[in-house]
Amino acid sequence: MFWQKEGQLEKIIDPLLVGHINRNSLRKFGEIAEKCLKPRGADKPNMLDVCCDLEYALQLQQTPTHREAHEDSTTTVASIDLALPPMQNLSYNMFPVDDY
């Protein structure tokens, strides 16, 4: 999680995504990964929280960002179209976490 802490996740993502992924969305994905990689199960988020955070990251990706003044107005941005299942039927206890 070195790159997450340094705020430089774009250095390790797929090169095809560089310049196309919203920085706020990328930062949120990094935060989610960091939470999920906690050593103790009790410190990790439950799946409902992960799914809600992923939905939020997707919303950030789909939110237009202001272009920098030096960007050409003809620049096109690829969109990432991900469909997520409805969340209302998930229970907090659906995915138990074991502490080791």
Which tens digits make up the pLDDT trace of 41-60?
999 999 999 999 999 999 99
Does the pLDDT value for residue 74 go beyond 50?
A: no
Distance, in Å, from the CA atom of 86 to the CA atom of 51, rounded to the nearest integer, reads 10
pTM for this prediction? 0.58
Residue 89 has pLDDT above 50, yes or no: yes
Question: Hey, where are the domains in the chain?
Answer: 2-62
Distance separating alpha carbons of residues 67 and 89, to the nearest angstrom: 39
Structure confidence at residue 100 (pLDDT): 47
Q: Which of residues 6 and 40 earns the better pLDDT score?
A: 40
